[in-house]
Amino acid sequence: MTEITVWSALAGGSMIGGASALLFYKQQRIAGISGIAAGILPPWNAESGWRLCFLLGLLSSAPLYRLSGQPLPIQIDAHPALLAVAGLLVGYGSRLGGGCTSGHGVCGIARLSVRSIVATLIFMATAGVAVYLLRHLL
């Protein structure tokens, strides 16, 4: 699947929504990746196990997809140092914003949280400005 279609978007969105709903139903937790990742840092507690399993499942999805014989149509043109700096900025912004796009955008909007709706609008506007600046002006 190298083209984004209505069907692939619907399938992907359904899987993300279903996984988020299942995590909320089973663990009463929001599927915010930044919070889940922060929860596996020391000191460990009773919730670290499910958080680690969630992240391992997330990280194993691409290798498992490759086992199906399909290529991963991913091309990264950025320098590794730029990716590292970008990752640190995203992590800092997630902590500053009280969550990430998955927590606010998927779960928060589904709960009709005004805070999450505003945060997601800011995330998306900032991303649009950043892409425009980097791709068209710099």
d(C-alpha 116, C-alpha 111), whole Å: 9
Are 104 and 123 contacting, i.e. CB atoms less than 8 angstroms apart? yes
pLDDT at position 92: 85
Per-residue pLDDT at 2: 59
Q: What is the mean pLDDT of each run of 10 residues along the chain (138 residues)?
A: 75 89 89 87 88 91 84 82 89 83 88 92 91 89
The C-alpha atoms of residue 114 and residue 17 are separated, in whole angstroms, by: 19
Instruction: Supply the pLDDT for residue 112.
Output: 93
CA 3, 117, 130, 101 torsion: positive or negative? negative
Q: Do 34 and 94 form a contact (C-beta atoms < 8 A)?
A: yes
45 token code pair:
């507690």
Q: Does the N-terminal peptide bond of residue 80 adopt cis geometry, omega within 30 degrees of 0?
A: no
Q: Domain coordinates of the chain in residue numbers? A: 6-137
